[in-house]
Amino acid sequence: MLKLRLLPWEYGVRNLFRRPARTGLTLAGLTTVVLLVFVVVAFLRGLDASLAVTGDPSTMLVYSVGAAEDIESSAVPAQLPALLSASLEGIERRYGTDYVSPELYAATRIGVDDDRPKMAVLRGVTPAAPLVRRQVQMTEGRWPQEGEVLAGRLAAAKLGCRPEALAVGNTVTLAGREFRISGRFAAGGAAYESEVWFPLADLQQGMQRQDLSLVAVGLAGEASAAEVQLFCMERVDLGIQAIEETKYYALLQSHYRPVRTLGWVVVCLVAGAGIFAGLNTMYGAVVGRGRELAALQAIGFRRRAVALSLVQEAVLLAAAASLVAALLAVALVHGAAIRFTMSAFALQVDSVTLLIGCGTGLLLGLLGAVPPAVKAMRQPVVEGLKAV
């Protein structure tokens, strides 16, 4: 069996530089396609990561039965925290303080930076909130007192304003009242980072509400979530339910499943468009090189060897485009904050995103080169040598 004699590797590399204009345009087109894939996948990975890291397995959320997964529409009595503290044995207690955080959760417009009011996610809290929100860490300033607020790391992205507008010392306006920003916090990428935290009494006054949206309860190490759930089932008069915080955000992940499905559809559509663009470009390149390809066959190279050289060129170009797109994605896309429904999150260009994006780029080069190469090799050598 005769061994297939391949064209030198350098031949395909040099060919890319013999037509700099065509190579540059093809590289730019492939880079754009792959970068779009990076952006969509980074969006999906960022959304999943934000919900996955939010919550504490030892924290229970107690809210109204009719709210389903929408805590914003929940309303529970203001005395519920005291009832939970008095009735449950499994609540974590340290230094005479119960890990019970009454909270009011709302989405409304607030004034920022003397601009028109912007939609924000607000949470009314007490000093007990950090006890059950262990991910939250102060990065600047101090805990808010009356007339002050705490801004999350991604709150500016949710509001659609400049990050400087939420700097410590600036003010926001709610219901005609100004609140000074006393500090900023981060939460390791959790959904809390897109919120603005008010003292509970101030937010109740601003929203003209005396009830609560939920009560977050921190359980001791040996305690069981069933105790809290049993209490909620027995107190039918309160109309409340309890769920582990991690399970609640897992339910939100399933709620966003159609969004993720749509995102992967977009990835496939973008990749498909890239494949057709690659086919068009490669067909043009092959048609203009008919005499060259026929001459290679005439001097002894078999058709498969010539076809493999064409595929090599396309894959090299696609690999270069994938590398450029990956660098642009890491530099420009990774960590960029975007608004999404009731929160904001950062785009994630992680190892999975890089693998999918670069894999898509190489696939574009391979699938875009094979059909034109096959077509070119079907042309008789004599006709190819006569081509103009």
For residue 278, name the pLDDT band (cuts at 50, 70, 90): low
Lowest mean pLDDT among 20-24, 44-48, 221-225, 381-385: 381-385
For residue 1, name the pLDDT band (cuts at 50, 70, 90): very low
pLDDT score recorded for residue 300: 64
pLDDT score recorded for residue 197: 95
SS3 content of the chain, % helix, strand, coil (to 5): 55, 20, 25
Question: In 113-170, which ranges are E strands?
Answer: 118-125, 137-141, 148-152
Whole-angstrom Cα distance, residue 308 to residue 369?
A: 9
> Which residue would you say has higher pLDDT here, 75 or 268?
75
DSSP bridge partners of 76? 212
Burial readout 9-47 (b: 16 or more C-beta within 10 A, e: otherwise): eeebeebbeeeeeebeebbebbbbbbbbbbbbbbbbbbb
Lowest mean pLDDT among 7-21, 131-145, 146-160, 346-360: 7-21
pLDDT score recorded for residue 29: 82
Q: What residues contact 183, with CB distance under 8 A and at least 6 apart?
A: 138, 139, 140, 141, 142, 143, 144, 150, 151, 168
Whole-angstrom Cα distance, residue 386 to residue 260?
A: 53
Output the pTM of the full model.
Answer: 0.79
Confidence check: pLDDT of 270 > 50 = yes
Q: Average pLDDT in the 26-54 region?
A: 86
- 300-346 per-position pLDDT tens digit: 667 777 777 778 888 888 899 999 999 999 999 998 888 877 678 88
Contact (Cβ atoms closer than 8 angstroms) between residue 195 and residue 136: no
What phi-psi label fits residue 311: left (phi over 0), alpha (psi between -120 and 50 degrees) or beta? alpha
Confidence check: pLDDT of 173 > 50 = yes
Identify residue 13 by its one-letter amino acid code. Answer: V
pLDDT score recorded for residue 3: 58
- 107-134 per-position pLDDT tens digit: 899 998 777 888 899 999 999 999 998 8
Q: Which of 51, 33, 34 is nearest to 346 (CA)?
A: 51
Q: What residues contact 332, with CB distance under 8 A and at least 6 apart?
A: none
The residue written with tokens 């997964």 in the block is 69
The residue written with tokens 């001097």 in the block is 299
Q: Helix (H, G, I), strand (E, B), or coil: what is residue 341? A: coil
The chain-wide mean pLDDT, for the chain, equals 84
Q: Helix (H, G, I), strand (E, B), or coil: what is residue 152? A: strand
Lowest mean pLDDT among 14-28, 241-255, 282-296, 347-361: 282-296
pLDDT score recorded for residue 186: 93
What is the percent of the chain with per-residue pLDDT over 90, rounded to a whole number?
35
Q: Which of 348, 341, 344, 155 is nearest to 259 (CA)?
A: 341
Confidence check: pLDDT of 180 > 80 = yes
Contact (Cβ atoms closer than 8 angstroms) between residue 129 and residue 136: yes
Instruction: For the chain, give every domain's residue range.
Output: 9-52+256-386, 59-220
pLDDT score recorded for residue 179: 94
Q: H/E element holding 325? A: helix 303-328
Whole-angstrom Cα distance, residue 76 to residue 65?
A: 10
pLDDT score recorded for residue 285: 62
Whole-angstrom Cα distance, residue 245 to residue 217?
A: 10
Q: What are phi and psi of 104, to 5 degrees?
A: -115, 125
